[in-house]
Chain A
Amino acid sequence: MSVHEREDRALRLQRVAELLAEAVTPQEVLDAILTEGVRAAEARAGAIGVLSPDRESIELLAQQGYPGPIMEDWGRFPISGGLPMSHVVRTGEPLFVSTRQERDELFPGLAGQGQGGGAMVVLPLAVEGRVFGAMALSFEEGVEFGRERREMKIALARLASQNLARSQLYEQEQALRERMTFLAEASEILSSSLDYHHTLGELARLAVPRLADWCTIDMADENGEIERLAVAHEDPEKVRWANELQVRYPPNPDDPHGVPQVLRSGEPEFFPSIPARLLDEAIGDDPELRRIIDELGLRSSICVPLRARGRTFGALTLIAAETHPPFTEADFALATELARRAAVAVDNARLYGEAENGANAAQALAHVADGVVLLDPDGVVRHWNPAAAAITGVDEKHAVGKPVGGVVPAWATLTSHVPLSAPGERGTGPVTVPLVREGHERWLAISGVDFGEGTVYALQDVTDEHALEKTRSDFVATASHELRTPLAAVYGAVRTLRREDVELSEEHRAAFLDMIESESLRLSKIVGQILLAGQLDADAVELSLSACDPAAVAADVIESASVELPDGISLGLSADGTRSIECDEAKLKQVLVNLVDNAIKYSPDGGRVTIRLDQNGSGCLIEVADHGLGIPASEQERIFEKFYRLDPQQTKGVGGSGLGLYICRELVERMEGRLWVESEPGVGSRFSVELPVSA
């Protein structure tokens, strides 16, 4: 070999090295080796194959100069086979074959294959002593491989190895970078919104076609039903089709593979190559499904669980079908990481939703009129809404975190008769109990639900309802009493007078006759009031309006009242310069009689009862005043309610239907007037009637 030749080879190697230095991607490296490298080696053709990740087979990456479809025919072959590349990868030693005859002897399987009778060199590709592939060079003619030729080829293989490995590292780094970028984008999507239905849809769309041909996300609901949350494919038409498919072939939660399996077990499922057996099992005897699966061309699948806090609630599925290469371990790792991030995002969104619901509930509770009290199993207050604060008079901040017995001392008594129902159970209804607070009695309707982790009590302030109910039942008792008592007297007096077995004294006979008269009047009056109240309710009271002198009516009332005046009571009338008004004289008289009767009745210790008339801007003012018991401020409006009576404890010896003042106010208002009271307990009361000049 001449110096010139040697220099020439060195230059050619130099040229290859330069080209390789510019090559970045594995493809560019392969191109450089297979064009300049093959030329530098003076070979006719060349090919490069690499070990598969499982190191079981060799995959042909590229070739240059071989005729025919060798990439298709020899694209992938086992490392254990009888091909030169297999041999070299196995041994790690370069193979130099000078003639075709020698080749066929060494590799009988190749006999009759290939063209020409040229030499062949197969060189291991290795970095750091580890073989990762082989480069084959084929020559037109036989070649005697001397030391320098061999060294040149080995140097070329070393160049190829280094650059290929370097470019693959670069590619891996690129892939890693892409994955990182992808994960970053995915995270961005996941954190963009708390609406995880939306974000998972976006995530699935991000995954295709970069990560897979198909990406689906399924969730399991509380009932174990599988809901498809997202399905993505580059072609919207296919998405539509997949959605229809999902409807026609809904997932069976008991399926041994795929999403149902992953949801059940919480373990991922990774098929670099989907076994035909699995598809057959899934398809069964359905020819239509067979056609669809074939059309889909499923090659490889990854299904990873969406898990958070120990619970699997969904699955992310990636499928490589028509375009995407089969998934690798790296894809699986990426999918796992993606699912992890998605699961955390979904979990956070759900937690936030729950917290927000909790906050909404708290907000809603803040507005409900019912007191809501939540106690933990130790009886410590956990929630105390504003209504509970209003009802009990204890602020939320003085209640939450404290034992309820310390917050409301009467709590145990209050709730001792409240039956606790289980959640969702139809309770027995609230129990109404009194709570004395600052000397006032409040009536609370309390119901409770024991939900295992504590107890919720609803407190309703039914003081008004209770008062109304009590008023009603009091009325029944009152009306009964007011009707039955005079009736008992009249009936009893008559029965006694007619007794033949006893001779009554004259004194008693007279007393019974008086009794019959006065109790009959009383009976007639109470019956009249009840009837009138009924008419007022039915709006059946007719007014007969005419010009009337209120002073004359008042004088008439005073005169009647003076007939049987109790001891210690004196009557007075002052009527200066009043004018005639238009009203129903009989009704006005009825009102004044009632007011004067009341004034006398509620002045058990005597005193002066007066009627005073005055001119009022637009009409006439009539005041009936006494110096009697007076009316507590809290009762001053209620006395005009139907059936309402002052507490008998405070009005010893005073009976009544509870209708008098109700009737008075109704009558005055029907005459376009007003009736009100000013009173002070122990000092007296003043009832004022204001009537317009013309009604």
Chain B
Amino acid sequence: MPKEPQAAGDDSGAGTSTEATCVLVVDDEHSIRLLCRVNLGASGIDVLEADDGETALELARREQPDLILLDVMMPGLDGWGVARELAHDERTRDIPVVFLTARAEASDRRRGAQLGGVGYLLKPFDPVGIGELVEDVLARIGRGEREQLQRGIAAEHER
């Protein structure tokens, strides 16, 4: 049984790894960030964390993560706003966004797809599978299936 990587998410550790996938987790809830950090770390994924929208944009531009797990309902700039800003910025527009949200309405899914999301993870979610999910999304994008992923968001049923 492998031990979880202790320093995952720390800037010092993540920044130096050249091979590891890096995911930016954006959520104002500490619990959710912790769950993501531990479980992604168990899959060998480096994790960056932001607890609000502005910090998320700043980190995304600077650190160029491979993927962003984005909460929607946050004080200040919410997830929709973050996604919009990411899409408008050349430096971040290609970073895949997977929404991680408690918003269960179909209209929210459509909105997520419109904003360029490639995944829509509804809370509560199983954090154990999240590393696998991230790798899968990145692999499919690598195969040029980004648009299928976007279309899939709106079509997906509530779990």
Contacts and interface: CB of A to CB of B under 8 A. Distances in A.
A488 B1 contact: no
A147 interface: no
A485 B4 contact: no
B128 A499 contact: yes
Interface in B57-93: 73, 75-76, 78
A493 B36 CA distance: 10
A489 B29 contact: yes
A515 interface: yes
Contact of A500 (B1, B4, B38, B126): B1
A490 to B, nearest CB: 8
B9 to A, nearest CB: 12
A476 B39 CA distance: 30
B1 A496 contact: no
Given A480-B104, A499-B42, A504-B38, A492 B2 contact: no
A73 interface: no
A508 B5 CA distance: 12
A450 B43 CA distance: 63
A328 to B, nearest CB: 85
Nearest to B108: A477
A492 B42 contact: no
A499 B41 CA distance: 13
A504 B75 CA distance: 31
Interface centre among B29, B31, B102, B122 (most CB of A within 10 A): B31
A286 interface: no
A582 to B, nearest CB: 42
Contact of B31 (A481, A484, A505, A519): A519
A426 interface: no
Given A487-B123, A508-B4, A477 B34 contact: no
Interface residues of A, number: 36
Contact of B39 (A486, A496, A511): A496
Contacts of B4: 502-505, 508
A649 interface: yes
Interface in A514-546: 515, 519
A483 B75 CA distance: 17
A503 B31 contact: no
A552 B143 CA distance: 68
A515 B1 contact: no
B42 A485 contact: no
**Looking at chain B, what size class is its interface with the partner chain?**
20 to 34
A485 B103 contact: no
Interface centre among A485, A515, A654 (most CB of B within 10 A): A485
Contact of B102 (A481, A493, A652): A481
B1 A503 contact: yes
Contacts of A478: 73
A67 interface: no
Contact of B127 (A485, A495, A501): A495
Nearest to A508: B38
Contacts of A504: 4, 38
Given A496-B39, A502-B1, A488 B125 contact: yes
B6 interface: yes
Nearest to A491: B124
A500 B128 CA distance: 10
B31 A649 contact: no
Contact of B34 (A484, A491, A515): A515
A654 B104 CA distance: 21
Interface string B120-141: 0011111110000000000000
B3 A651 contact: no
A653 interface: yes
Nearest to A499: B128
A530 to B, nearest CB: 15
B7 to A, nearest CB: 11
A287 to B, nearest CB: 79
A481 B35 contact: no
A488 B127 CA distance: 9
A492 B31 CA distance: 9
A648 interface: yes
B31 A480 contact: no
A648 B123 CA distance: 20
B105 interface: yes
A522 to B, nearest CB: 10
B73 A477 contact: yes
Given A485-B31, A488-B102, A499-B42, 5 more contacts: A493-B31, A505-B6, A515-B34, A652-B52, A654-B75
Interface of B: 1-4, 6, 28-29, 31-32, 34-35, 38-39, 42, 52, 73, 75-76, 78, 102-105, 108, 122-128
16 contacts: A476-B105, A477-B103, A480-B103, A485-B123, A488-B123, A496-B38, A496-B127, A499-B128, A501-B42, A502-B38, A503-B4, A504-B4, A508-B38, A652-B52, A652-B76, A654-B75
